[in-house]
Amino acid sequence: MIKTDKHTHRSELSRGALLILDAAESLFAAKDFDAVSINEIASHAQTSKANIFHHFKSKEALYISVLKNACERSVSALNEVNSQLSDDPLKQLNQFFAGHLQAILSSPLSTRLIQRELLENGEQKGKLLAEEVFSDTFANVVRLVKQAQDKGMIRQGIDPSLLAFLMFGANVVFFESRSVLKHLPDVNFTESPEEYSSAIFDLLTHGFK
C-alpha cells in the first residue's frame, strides 16, 4: 500500500476537498504533473491556492489521491464487468474483452492517468501498479482462459497469460492510438469499438489463415 497520512478515499473527504479532487483529476488527466499548477487547479475548483494546501499537504499528495481514486474506480469498473458473465467460458472471455474496452473508453480520465503513470514511473512503480491495479483482473482472465482450455475450447499450445495479455493489449492500444489511427487511410474500425472488439475476437479465435 502507498502510505499517506491524510484521507485518500472520496468518502472520507469534505465537500470542498472533493471539488478540488475532481478539478485536479481532470487537469492531471489532461496534462503532466509539472504542467498543472496549483493555481490552475484552484481556479478550476473555484477556490484559493492556500485552501488546496489546507486540504492536501502537498501537490504530490494531491496527485496521489487523484491517482488512487482513478485506480479504484478503474478496478471496480472491471470487477463489474467480471460479475456479469454467462456460463460458457468462451462467451465469458468475449464479453469480458468487449466490456473491458467499453470500461476503458467510458473513463478516459482514469485510463490516461494510469497510462501516464506507467509511462513516466513504470520502472519504479511497476510492481505497485501490478499488485494493486492489474493483478486481480489479469488473474481472472487467465483463469477464464484456463477453464476454456480444460474444456477443450482453447487448444493446449496456447499460453493462457499470453492470450490474456494480448486481449488487454489490443484494447489498450486501441485507446492509445485513436488520435493517430483516425488519420491513417484504410482504417475503418476507429469509430466503432464494438466492431473492433468482435473483429479482434474473431481473429484471435480462428486466426487469419
Which residues sit at the interface with DNA, rule CB under 7 A?
14-17, 36-40, 46-51, 53-55, 57-60
Q: How far is the CB of 183 from its own copies (least distance, A)?
A: 4
75 binds, among DNA, its own copies, none (CB under 5 to 8 A by kind): none
Q: How far is the CB of 47 from DNA (least distance, A)?
A: 4
105 binds, among DNA, its own copies, none (CB under 5 to 8 A by kind): none
Residue listed under C-alpha cell 489532461: 30
User: 58, 53, 45, 44: which is closest to 15 by C-alpha?
Assistant: 45
Of positions 2, 108, 151, 169, contacts its own copies by CB under 8 A: 169
The residue type found at 77 is: A
Q: Any residues with CB less than 8 A from the CB of 189 and at least 6 apart, and which?
A: 195, 196, 199
Q: Is 179 in the site for its own copies (CB under 8 A)?
A: yes
Q: Is 33 in the site for its own copies (CB under 8 A)?
A: yes
116 binds, among its own copies, DNA, none (CB under 5 to 8 A by kind): its own copies
User: 130, 135, 161, 168: which is closest to 146 by C-alpha?
Assistant: 161
Given the complex with DNA, which of 38 and 77 has the nearer CB atom?
Answer: 38
3 binds, among its own copies, DNA, none (CB under 5 to 8 A by kind): none
| 1 CA to centre of own chain | 18
Q: Is 150 in the site for its own copies (CB under 8 A)?
A: no
| Residues within window 56-95 making contact with its own copies, judged by CB under 8 A | none
**Inter-helix orientation angle 108-129/160-181, to 10°:** 140
State the Cα–Cα distance between residues 80 and 96, nearest whole angstrom. 10
Q: How far is the CB of 122 from DNA (least distance, A)?
A: 23
Q: Is 12 exposed, middle or buried (0-12, 13-18, 19+ CB in 10 A)?
A: exposed
Record the cell numbers describing residue 63, joined without a space: 496527485
Contact 21, 109 (CB under 8 A): no
Contact set with its own copies (CB under 8 A): 31-35, 112, 115-116, 118-120, 122-123, 126-127, 129-131, 134-135, 138-139, 142, 153-155, 157-163, 165-166, 168-170, 172-174, 176-177, 179-189, 196, 199-200, 202-209
